[in-house]
Structure 1
Amino acid sequence: MSLVTDEIRASATEMYSGDGICQVKSKFLLTEVGLPNGLLPLKDIEECGYVKETGFVWLKQKNKCDHKFDKIGKLVQYAKEVTAYVEPNRIKKLTGVKVKELLLWINLSEIYVDDPPTGKITFKTPAGLFRTFPVSAFEIDMAAEEVKDKDEVKAAAVEVKEV
């Protein structure tokens, strides 16, 4: 069951459809609230929205996806729908995000940054358990990302010409 109702959509300050714009807007929102821009590496995002008055944010993707944060060696799973309430340096009431610890998948409910921007980022579970990591483990170098995107476009163009 979706947490994003028609009423929430109607009250959205911002709402976008399509992977390209949603990728940009989600990274911008994370940066705007003081969180690292690589925190939500979702794929094939269909819709994203933000209700500024309450801080409610949602992201819908075609399928759930797994992502390994190489710098800390953690595997994280993102559901088809990820929702949260954002405020400066904090995400609360997070749904749709799990982290693998040993052999178990554990839900995350809160993420916050201490002493931004060079501080530590803490991930909490509904049971109150937490882990802290360096913020740098979740940041994306946007210049390198743009180069990667341009290289992918060039490679696709070369493939089309060869066919």
Structure 2
Amino acid sequence: MGTQLIANHREGAEIYHGESLCKQKSLDLLSEIELPKGLLPLNDLIEVGYNRTTGFVWLKQKNRTDHRFRAIGRNVSYDNEVTAFVENHRMRRLTGVKSKEILIWISISEIYVNDPNSGKITFGTPAGLSRTFPISAFELEESKDKK
């Protein structure tokens, strides 16, 4: 599904290649939409694309990445292709991200911050369930030092 969406949104998109440039662009994107920079801890990125007109973003990495957010004790899996529609404080129609809840992996379809002053970020599922965590759990380590 993601590959077709990417094809549909490539025209007019900013597209970047190369691991270090892609990593920087993924951080720039999170900063631009005011979400914590540690939200997408992807490795070996090979392509990042952003269609500002439609708000569609994609990130391609060589392999799937598993990451543990220690502050909240949650494992999250990122497929080799992650896509979303972005706007300020929000990622909608997210694909390629799953969180481990007890014994099963749950797809995450939305990430948002309703009130930036609350210090809370919410993760929603396609079934309409959601969980809220402290934004601080998703900041990059360097960001914490600067506060």
SS at match of 1:60: strand
Aligned alpha-carbon RMSD (Å): 1.6
Q: Bigger radius of gyration, 1 or 2?
A: 1
Give distance in 2, aligned partners of 1:138 and 1:34. Answer: 12
* Segments of 4+ moved more than 2 angstroms: 141-145
Asked whether the equivalents of residues 59 and 82 of structure 1 are also in contact (C-alpha less than 8 Å), the reply is: yes
Question: Is 1:88–2:85 an aligned residue pair?
Answer: no
The 5 A counterparts of 1:134-145 are 134-142=134-142
Aligned to 2:9: 8
1:118–1:20 CA distance, 2 compared to 1 (3 A): farther
**TM-score of the superposed pair, with normalisation by structure 2:** 0.91
Deviations 1:57-87 (A, max 9, x none): 0000001110000110100000010000000
* 5+ long unaligned stretches in structure 2: none
Q: Counterpart amino acid of 1:105?
A: W
* 5+ long unaligned stretches in structure 1: 146-163
Q: Counterpart amino acid of 2:50?
A: Y
Aligned to 1:50: 50
SS at match of 2:10: helix
- Bigger RCO (CA 8 Å, 6+ sep): 2
Aligned to 1:113: 113
Identity %: 58
Asked whether the equivalents of residues 117 and 135 of structure 1 are also in contact (C-alpha less than 8 Å), the reply is: no
